[in-house]
Structure 1
Amino acid sequence: MTLKVYLSGEIHTDWREQITQGATGLDVVFSGPVTDHAASDDCGVAILGAEDNKFWHDRKGAQINAIRTRKGIAEADVVVVRFGEQYKQWNAAFDAGYAAALGKSLIILHGAEHAHALKEVDAAALAVATEPRQVVEILRYVLSGSLPA
């Protein structure tokens, strides 16, 4: 059984690499958003033309990014959403809600400092992890039934 896993959320740490490297040898295909922050922010104006108003600048980029995000979440078997410590990730919360609305298996990843703020998001998830290693172990268990050594 191949699992399609969409990795959503913060882009400022190496959590995606930790998961993809930890899952080496598992039958998993990963996808995710564009993680180049500047490219993600500026794709709309780079492709469709400059905007004087920052609102429209951001909106063009958000809409183009949404094409990739919607497709990735819709095609995923499992959606992992990471909330980092440094920024409020409203887009990550939106992705979690979108995945939940589609009935996707949802794994939330965050530290203890966000437990209260994300209680509703956590309640929609099938698992809440605090470390990328735990996400890998969940994927391993789902695919093989093997518990961590």
Structure 2
Amino acid sequence: MRYTVYLSGEIHTDWRDKIKKAINQNGLPIDVLTPNTDHDSSDGCATEILGPEEKNFWTDHKSAKMNTMRHMTAIKRADIVIVRFGDKYRQWNAAFDAGFAIANGKSLIVEHAPELTHPLKEIDACAHAVAENTEQVIETLKYLCLDY
């Protein structure tokens, strides 16, 4: 069996690269989908494609809609959604992706530091696995790919 995994969440560390590398090194049958992790092109995608706006509200609004279309499509294609919450920023978009994944019946793995357990308790309650680091996420993926 092949899995499709969507990697959602913070974009300021190399956690996605670690997971992709582990998938390749271990020969795991996993295809990876990701959001646009380039902050500037993500924020400016709609005005770049559809034209500029006078107010920042509309710039953000148009780009958020385009990015949400990308995220929702990827989550619907995925078998497993992994959402990493970093400690630097409040990641409302990551929380939205986690909720959308659960609402669509996707398996959900959440990763965050222990100090975020209380603020993320509702998301953790819906997750199928809650990891404290990327290594635990990788080990979970390896377990899911065991051939019995």
TM-score range, shorter chain: over 0.9
Please tell me whether the aligned partners of residues 22 and 133 of structure 1 are also in contact (alpha carbons under 8 angstroms): no
Aligned residue for 1:39?
A: 41
- Structure 1: 4+ residue segments shifted above 6 A: none
Aligned residue for 1:7?
A: 7
TM-score by length of 2: 0.96
Number of residue pairs matched by the alignment: 146
* Match 2:138 to one of 119, 136, 139: 136
Please tell me whether the aligned partners of residues 106 and 126 of structure 1 are also in contact (alpha carbons under 8 angstroms): yes
1:13-32 alignment, distance < 5 Å: 13-24=13-24, 25-32=27-34
Structure 2: unaligned runs, 5 residues or longer: none
Which amino acid in the other structure matches residue 20 of structure 1? K
* Match 2:128 to one of 115, 126, 132: 126
Q: Deviations over 1:35-89 (max 9, x none)?
A: 0000000001111111111111001101111121111000100000010010000
Q: Deviations over 1:90-141 (max 9, x none)?
A: 0000000000000100000100121100000000100000111111111111
* Match 2:99 to one of 94, 97, 104: 97
Instruction: Report how far residue 145 of structure 1 moved.
Output: 5.8
TM-score by length of 1: 0.95
